[in-house]
């Protein structure tokens, strides 16, 4: 079983990096946005060098995004240290948008930079992979959909040609063959292509190609009011409606300097912990079912269903859509509902504590899970994974404990972790996170503040921006929001944790047998929707 290990988090310190860069005249110190430790302006020519220094100092890479402000494109990169988050900013000319890649320092920047290349036309110098990532056949050469002059409905008329020529590299050798899987799958999931190269049953290499959905989240956010933004954020990834909704609202509230009522903050935490519980229960059951242990699937699905039914009864929505709103929450709990939830949590705790030891010690089940899909801790740190995938290899970063925001700043948050990084560890960590979440909700309900549920969000009267940082069930969830003087959205960027977990799936499949792909995939469970904005 997993247990609370010695604390092992990102070691680098933002404050030390800022000092070092300032002394070297590599950065201009700017006023930090609320919730961040620091913000630096970097010259375009120093962008890659600064990333190299940050990586050597042990900071974790988190996200990169663009913002077209003609005649420039602003590029922002978010890093995390043990003392908080650091925002790097630079700007490139829209006519010749070139920037040194950070991928050499941080592998995690690979696909996000390719997405920036596709959506804004930014060319990353020294990037190791020139292939498109999100571009599809609906966009002509020279079209960049997230530039302000590109229409939200696109420019192509008629049917978009099929996207069937993504250049997967070939692996040749005696007995090597390929297995294309997807993008359309047999199950009720979203599209994603997996290209396997194997010998016999053993996987030599697997590469993903995602980006088939193209919901246009970032584009259609522009011009929305705050309520419309919150509703859109809840739909970035339906299984993370609370996490993304809270991150977007937190970004808005920080930008507007709105103080959210304590009761609303406690209710938000209750909602996000219930989202965590439901998703972990469902996935634990599905993982076990993928190796033929249907008993666990039945039991865990039953428990998840009970949680979601109570969500419907108490909060009016099984998946908790639109319960988090700008300035607060749209739901409340009375004394009877509080008691009902506590009774349900008590029964859930008993069931989980009875089932988990059975799953984690049952020989025939553990024979399939232990040693399967190992992501060694050193490799996990190198690619920057977060959430339960990192914690399965004792990379414990958890914003609730390590960069606490209200109401977690008044709670004690335990972070379960394992050491090996295999499927068994991912199941164990997720099971214990269910118990931790139950305990947190009990703490919150025992000391639920009185007061109003929502604060007013004023019209800013000038352009403002903010960043939201929430620990969702998959891990660190990021949202950047820039508002106009009238309070309308000018730019919204959500970063789902799946951007950092999908590459982990490719790595942990090396030398795994093909029939074990489903159980490994489910143990990671990246979000297609959260990635394919």
Q: Which residues sit in the known binding site for Mg(2+)?
A: 218
Query: Which residues lie below 8 Å from residue 530, measured CB to CB, with a gap of 6+?
Result: 236, 237, 240, 244, 474, 494, 496, 497, 498, 499
Pair 470, 243: CB distance under 8 Å: yes
Q: Of the candidates 55, 56, 25, 52, which has an alpha carbon nearest to the alpha carbon of residue 41?
A: 25
> CA 254, CA 73: separation in Å to the nearest integer?
24
383 close to 503: Cβ distance less than 8 angstroms: yes
Which parts are annotated binding residues? 218
CA distance linking residue 454 with residue 464, whole number of Å: 21
| CB 145, CB 139: distance < 8 Å | yes
How are strands ordered across the β-sheet holding 72-81? 28-30, 38-41, 84-93, 72-81, 60-69
Q: What are the structure tokens assigned to 465, written together?
A: 């921006």
Longest pairwise C-alpha distance within the chain: 70
DSSP state of 450: P
Residue 518 near residue 287, CB atoms below 8 Å: no
Q: What is the 3-state secondary structure (H, E, C) of 229-253?
A: HHHHHCCCCHHHHHHHHHHHHHHHH
Positive or negative, the CA dihedral 49, 51, 54, 56 is negative
Closest CA to 484 of 150, 149, 222: 222
- DSSP assignment string, 175-228: TEEEEEE-SS-SSS----EEEEEEETTEEEEEEEE-------HHHHHTT--HHH
Cβ pair 435, 363 in contact under 8 A:
no
Cα 472 to Cα 243: distance, rounded to the nearest angstrom: 5
Q: In this structure, are residues 61 and 79 in contact, taking their beta carbons and an 8 Å threshold? A: yes
- Do 223 and 488 touch, CB atoms closer than 8 A? yes
* Terminal CA-CA length for the chain: 36
């Amino acid at each position: 079983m997993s247990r609370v290990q010695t604390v092992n988090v990102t070691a680098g310190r933002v404050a030390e990096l800022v000092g070092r860069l300032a002394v070297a005249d590599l950065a201009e110190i700017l006023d930090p946005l609320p919730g961040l430790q620091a913000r630096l302006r970097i010259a375009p020519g120093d962008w890659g060098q600064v990333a190299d220094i940050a990586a050597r100092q042990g900071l974790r890479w988190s996200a990169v995004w663009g913002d077209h402000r003609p005649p420039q494109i602003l590029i922002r990169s978010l890093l995390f240290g043990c003392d908080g988050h650091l925002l790097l900013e630079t700007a490139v000319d829209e006519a010749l948008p070139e920037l040194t890649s950070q991928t050499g320092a941080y592998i995690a920047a690979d696909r996000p930079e390719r997405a920036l290349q596709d959506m804004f036309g930014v060319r990353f110098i020294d990037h190791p992979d020139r292939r498109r990532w999100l571009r599809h056949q609906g966009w002509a050469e020279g079209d960049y959909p997230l530039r302000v002059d590109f229409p939200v409905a696109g420019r192509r008329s008629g049917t978009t040609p099929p996207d069937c020529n993504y250049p997967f590299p070939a692996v040749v050798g005696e007995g090597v063959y390929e297995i294309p899987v997807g993008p359309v799958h047999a199950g009720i999931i979203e599209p994603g292509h997996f290209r396997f190269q194997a010998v016999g049953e053993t996987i030599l290499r697997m590469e993903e190609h995602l980006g088939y959905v193209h919901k246009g989240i970032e584009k259609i956010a522009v011009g929305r009011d705050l309520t419309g933004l919150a509703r859109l954020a809840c739909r970035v990834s339906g299984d993370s409606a609370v996490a993304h909704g809270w991150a977007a609202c937190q970004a808005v509230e920080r930008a507007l300097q709105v103080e959210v009522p304590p009761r609303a903050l406690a209710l938000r935490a209750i909602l996000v912990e219930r989202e965590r519980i439901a998703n972990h229960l469902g996935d634990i059951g599905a993982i076990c079912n993928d190796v033929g242990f249907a008993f666990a699937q039945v039991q865990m699905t039953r428990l998840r269903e009970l949680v979601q039914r109570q969500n419907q009864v108490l909060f009016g929505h099984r998946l908790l859509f639109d319960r988090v709103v700008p300035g607060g929450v749209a739901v409340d709990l009375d004394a009877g509902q509080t008691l009902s939830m506590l009774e349900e949590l008590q029964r859930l705790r008993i069931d989980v504590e009875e089932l988990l030891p059975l799953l984690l010690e049952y020989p025939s089940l553990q024979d399939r899970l232990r040693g399967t899909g190992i992501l060694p801790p050193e490799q996990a740190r190198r690619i920057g994974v977060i959430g339960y995938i990192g914690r399965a290899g004792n990379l414990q970063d958890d914003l609730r404990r390590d960069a606490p925001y209200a109401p977690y700043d008044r709670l004690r948050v335990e972070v379960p972790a394992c050491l090996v990084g295999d499927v068994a560890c991912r199941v164990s960590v997720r099971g214990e996170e269910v118990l931790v979440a139950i305990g947190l909700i009990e703490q919150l309900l025992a000391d639920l503040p009185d007061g109003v549920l929502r604060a007013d969000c004023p019209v800013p009267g000038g352009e403002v921006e903010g960043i939201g940082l929430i620990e969702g069930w998959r891990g660190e969830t990021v949202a950047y929001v820039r508002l106009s003087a009238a309070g309308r959205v000018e730019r919204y960027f959500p970063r789902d944790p799946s951007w950092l977990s999908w590459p982990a799936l490719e790595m942990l499949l090396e030398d795994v047998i093909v029939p074990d792909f489903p159980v490994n995939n489910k143990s990671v469970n990246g979000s297609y929707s959260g990635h394919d904005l």
